[in-house]
Structure 1
Amino acid sequence: MADEETGPAETARILIVDDEPFNLDVLEEELEFLGHASIRAENGRVALARLEEEAFDLVLLDVMMPALDGHAVLERMKADARWRHIPVIMISALTEIRTVVRCIESGAEDYLPKPFEPVLLAARIRACLDRKRFHDREMAHLAAIEVERKRADELLHAILPVPAVAELMATGRIEPRLFDDVAVLFIDLVGFTAWCHGRAPEEIVSEIHHLAEAFEVTAARHGLENIKTIGDAFMATANLLQPNADPIWAAVLCARDMAAAARAGAVGWRVRAGVHVGPVVGGIVGRTKFTFDLWGDTVNTAARVAGTAGAGSLHLSEEACRRLGERCLVVSKGEFPLKGKGECAIYGYALDEPLDVAALAPAP
């Protein structure tokens, strides 16, 4: 090991490149004294081959060599993303200032004339290795930051609609705004509370997780935005952040596929759903655990319309039914008292009944 004045804090792997065996012997001895491991290369071509095979912390590179000189090796290294971060000290008998300048301009960290002074060589090796280790720590830190950034992006996409994430990343915030003509769909599981009684928490959460994933995939397929899960209820919208020329039809088709996905599971759930359409206010709330949410009469009405439905049924408000037209069989369910709105006409659609494919075509 080297003494405290000249020895490095860590052992480095150093490639020494020279066409003179005597020079290689001398450098090898000096590096061994300094506590470093060295690998020889007798010319530039061999040096490039060594770089392909192994990782190095530093290269001591002779300038004048046959076949491929030090300038050419240096240029190859700095042009390759795998090697450009490896510091290079040029060692040569040449002392002309233009040779020194050319090496430094090509990316060499330092330059030493031959015959070299061992103390100066040790100091310059130490300086180069310190800079490389600092660079390596910085790259590792940046890589860790990138991992955390990607994780944060994934979390954002898990709690916010995709267009909301895009706006947040582009501007640093999401402006609260009024959205017109938004179809709001509520869908929940029938009998979920009774099913939970006496079951293990892991089983309950696993079932909700499975259904939430299936519902999210279904919503995305029909162009709806997943807004949130409230217990065993799922809320989605059409024509909120993503334009949709026919939001009611998209919501109806989405509800049908969600009902089918729920029935297809191990429990065989039946669902009830409700749709209303109108203006909503949307924005982000919260400081550390923020969420994108909606407010307004349209949201409240959609939730209350869903509450009037029975198992396997989709209920629509009068406005939603009017917008749906004659594209599927909807029947009047009479008037229901809705909180804050009085008696309201409700229309029903059977989610469990198969329909002719032709009946599912959008109206002309």
Structure 2
Amino acid sequence: MHALRIDDEDEPRVLVVDDDEDNRSLLLDELEFIGCRGIAVANGEEALAELGRSDIDVVLLDVMMPGMDGFEVLRSLRADPTRRMLPVVMISALSDLVNVVRCIELGADDYLPKPFDPVLLKARISSSMQKKRWRDQEAMYLARMERQLAEIERERARADALLDVVLPTAALRELKMTGAIAPRRYENVAVLFADIVDFTRYTETHPAEEVVANLDRLIVACEWALAQEGLEKIKTIGDGVVATGNLSQRHRDPVMAAVRAGQAMIAAAVENPAGWRMRIGISFGSVIGGVVGRSKFSFDAWGDTVNVAARLSGLGSESAVFLCPDAWSRVAARATAERMDGVALKGKGQMDVYRIGEIRAS
């Protein structure tokens, strides 16, 4: 290989912009001699047009030209986000260093004095190509980083959306602020358990797709009913739903809200294609709330109030809303109920239970 040829895997593409035909011809010859592919234009307008349709590595740009001069071309390139990093070497006579300095200040990378020296031309092209490679690598790195950051943000959004489903609003807020959710005791909490009557028997006599589709339809309706009353679903257990009022979000009337939500859930079960019956158990008192597990953690609630609601949801075989005495005392003036004396509840002994009738008009 000739000693003056550019040591580059690809043939550098160089755009020559000069209004002097002799200069253009001379530079094209010199570029070919050092292993570059030259493209020549006579003015600034042609230069921008050529840059718009060709993949150029370096621009050799004359300063003084009629029409759009070198300054205007340079300003246009540096103002274009897609071409602002393109290496530009100004062509100027040694006596015109004032304009060369001005071009450097405007963003030109280097200058090539007239008359042209092949050794210096090769040095300028090689230097410009190295700068271009560095800039291209930097641009690729930044683009890759931006894609990775965007993917991280998408993953974070998906994680937040999942946590928003798993955790109560206040617990999610605490997790984001502190990185943990401290277990605590909550007072004056309404706990609602909902259970589908004879669900297991239904699953044994119907196709899996139908079972899941109908269950999903009912759970979505239950979630909507709970949200309408300002209650929070804690979890789904098989065919059952567990929700609370006044646990992580303040609620002025959680028991009545649970009664209304329970009645709406019963109506949704009846209207479901499966025509299910649903029993609702509602208790009122203190609970402990927190997060357990690591691989598939979830927020949960524990305590006697939770156990009582679960036991109430298992009473009878018909659709009904059952309340413990403490829950009933919160709504007794605003609803009718059938009192069921001394009902045996597993783990609790006997308890008076109230089966809700109607909610009185306020």
Q: In the alignment, does 2:225 pair up with 1:223?
A: no
TM-score by length of 1: 0.76
Instruction: Report what 1:6 is aligned to.
Output: 8
Distance in 1 of aligned mates of 2:173 and 2:234: 15
Instruction: Report what 1:107 is aligned to.
Output: none
Distance in 2 of aligned mates of 1:176 and 1:143: 34
Change (3 A) 1:164 1:34: farther
Distance in 2 of aligned mates of 1:55 and 1:273: 73
Distance in 2 of aligned mates of 1:208 and 1:57: 62
Structure 1 stretch 222-231 or stretch 306-315: which is displaced more? 306-315
TM-score by length of 2: 0.77
Change (3 A) 1:86 1:133: farther
Q: In the alignment, does 2:75 pair up with 1:69?
A: no
DSSP 3-state at the match of 2:87 = strand
Q: In the alignment, does 2:271 pair up with 1:264?
A: yes
Instruction: Report what 2:187 is aligned to.
Output: 180
Distance in 2 of aligned mates of 1:328 and 1:15: 88
% identical aligned pairs = 33
DSSP 3-state at the match of 1:325 = helix
How far does residue 333 in structure 1 lie from its aligned partner after superposition?
1.7
Structure 1 stretch 306-315 or stretch 91-100: which is displaced more? 91-100
Change (3 A) 1:89 1:166: farther
Where do 1:280-295 residues align within 5 Å? 280-295=287-302
Asked if the contact 2:169/2:249 (under 8 Å) is kept, the reply is no
How far does residue 138 in structure 1 lie from its aligned partner after superposition?
1.5
How far does residue 254 in structure 1 lie from its aligned partner after superposition?
0.9
Distance in 1 of aligned mates of 2:214 and 2:56: 53
Asked if the contact 2:90/2:103 (under 8 Å) is kept, the reply is no
Distance in 2 of aligned mates of 1:34 and 1:178: 78
How far does residue 187 in structure 1 lie from its aligned partner after superposition?
0.6
Instruction: Report what 2:204 is aligned to.
Output: 197
Deviations 1:113-152 (A, max 9, x none): 2465322232222222111111222222222222222221
Instruction: Report what 2:313 is aligned to.
Output: 306
Asked if the contact 1:337/1:343 (under 8 Å) is kept, the reply is yes
Q: In the alignment, does 2:324 pair up with 1:326?
A: no
DSSP 3-state at the match of 2:109 = strand
How far does residue 210 in structure 1 lie from its aligned partner after superposition?
2.2
Asked if the contact 2:266/2:278 (under 8 Å) is kept, the reply is yes
Instruction: Report what 1:214 is aligned to.
Output: 221
Asked if the contact 1:274/1:309 (under 8 Å) is kept, the reply is no
Deviations 1:147-202 (A, max 9, x none): 22222122212222233222212221111111111100001111211100143333
Change (3 A) 1:302 1:19: farther
Asked if the contact 2:17/2:47 (under 8 Å) is kept, the reply is no
Aligned pair partner of 2:136 in 129, 136, 146: 129
Kindly provide the amino acid, as one letter, of the partner of residue 6 in structure 1: D
Distance in 2 of aligned mates of 1:200 and 1:225: 31
Asked if the contact 1:309/1:315 (under 8 Å) is kept, the reply is no
Instruction: Report what 2:111 is aligned to.
Output: 113
Instruction: Report what 1:89 is aligned to.
Output: 87
Kindly provide the amino acid, as one letter, of the partner of residue 154 in structure 1: A
Change (3 A) 1:344 1:59: farther
RMSD of equivalent CA atoms? 4.0
Instruction: Report what 1:106 is aligned to.
Output: none
DSSP 3-state at the match of 1:266 = coil
Aligned pair partner of 1:251 in 225, 245, 258: 258
Decide which structure has the larger Cα Rg and report it: 2
Deviations 1:69-105 (A, max 9, x none): 256436644xxxxx379634343347655653553xx
Distance in 1 of aligned mates of 2:225 and 2:55: 52
Change (3 A) 1:207 1:68: farther
Gaps of 5+ in 1: 78-82, 104-109
Change (3 A) 1:308 1:141: same
Distance in 2 of aligned mates of 1:61 and 1:46: 10
Change (3 A) 1:45 1:122: closer
Structure 1 stretch 186-195 or stretch 137-146: which is displaced more? 137-146
